[in-house]
Structure 1
Amino acid sequence: MPEETMNDFKDEIDRSFRKVKEGDILEGTVIDVSDTEITLDLKYYTQGIIRVEDMSDDPKFSVHRDVHVGDEVSATVISTDDGNGNILLSKKEANQVLSWDKINELKEADSYIDVKVSEAVKAGCVAFLEGIRGFIPASKLDLQFVEEEDLPNYVGKSLKVKIITADKEANKLVLSAREYLKEQADARRAEMISNVEVGLVTEGVVESLQNYGAFVNLGNGMTGLVHISQICNQRIAHPSSVLKVGQKVKVKVTAIKDGKLSLSMKALEEIAATEITEEKIEYESDGEATTSMADLLRKAGF
């Protein structure tokens, strides 16, 4: 076995004599954890010290639970001498640099990130991402706006979020869980619509009235459009002349395109619908099938 020479230790020697100044980010290995501080081996002539209050902004942080001997830690130099000859460091300050870099990468990638809601605050909730405090507005917690009294129900929940705003200078991080939930809801809706057939006659509730027609809620998150020309046999200037929001109506599915349902009430005035029982649903090209959307989807396994 060849003898070790000074060259073999050149990197360590260079590191031990390098000039360290305030603001530098150093990496070290945890060699001791106490109630008040963490000690790091910096491969330097002296050790690094991080006070517990300088480890994390997370109110849930626990030094004995979250820090272990052997952990690799990056921290910013606060002082080159803590009064005892050690280098005083702050992991929180390093996080402000390293974490914002990571957050900007995630925002650029437009990817979903898993976070856990740590507390409810006014108008939303808080979750930490890469050690940075992130705010999730009440309008972005779910598919619908979450009322203030319901915000505590989200504490402890894990959410998939996207980064909406990442402003390092203003220390502002805004997250949203709505995009992922909407994507999942749209996928479920598309799958449910794939089980609907043209010719189906069902009941729904008028959800809204527009100049061009009426949107009818068929249940289970599915809504279809009855074009103004398909509301009745008479010409009408506006759907409100014969319909009102909340009214129950019977409609026929006349077309399915790009995950959207086209409905008709007029068709049911022209051709009598054949009522069928829940136990037997038949689709005939020349006839009509009547069932509820809930029954249809229950038979499809939803």
Structure 2
Amino acid sequence: MTISIDVTRDAPRIDPRAVLARTTPHPTARETVAQTMAMAWRALVKMRRKPEQFFDVLIQPLLFTAMFAFIFGGAISGSVENYLPVLIPGILAQTALTVCMATGVQLREDMDKGVFDRFKSLPIARFAPLAGPMIADLLRYGIASVLTLLTGLAIGYRPGGGVAGCVAGIALTVVSGWSLAWIFSWLGTLARSAQAVQGYSMMIMFPLTFLSNAFVPAETLPDWLEAFVRVNPVSHVVSAVRALFNEGAVTADVGWALAGCAVVIAVFAPLAVRSYARKM
């Protein structure tokens, strides 16, 4: 007589992540920083091997600056020269917002291709694969901002704030773009595809950019729209960069812009990390 015993029916289920947590020590703060920088280097190498990731960084500043200046300059400010002090800070904000959209799209692409499944088996901090690309993208924001300014200089823009004002304005733009990238990173962990992330991002980008004082003075808008423009965080960034570039002045808008960046990071960075951790 043969007796069969089902040994799997009552056997406890084993979570591989729990086993990994018991067999792998938790990374220290120093190791977490090193692993994050390694992931940032990976993102930079990926950019070098895929130059098309720089199209929005290299082409858009040149195209939008020249197009908006020569098409709208005469109609809005009477001449291209008078419009450039208004336009260049606005293009900077638009470029930073557009460039940081790619952060969420590329994050979703990596998740769809199974790259992050490999990271699950590595004894690394779960925060590193998310934070690394965010650090690498600082280079993209800086390149886009510098190219926008150089394009403006080439067509006649002369910033009154000098070198110091321009450097401060670019630094503020980079910080603003990095803070907004957390929103798109969060969307990248939630959306089902990279195309969906791009669609959601466009719905955020266009209202924030065009319903601001980036391209026209707020005083020329209807009262109800002017009220929204004045509370739009992008408007504070544009006004702050405009004052830094044109006058070299640190106005209250700089403080409002930095405060807005801090609020965005405080809200969306934990959301992105928590949502990403669930995927990992």
Q: Which has the higher strand share?
A: 1
The verdict on a shared fold, with TM-score over 0.5 as the criterion, is: no
TM-score range normalised by the length of the shorter chain = under 0.3
Q: Which has the higher helix share?
A: 2
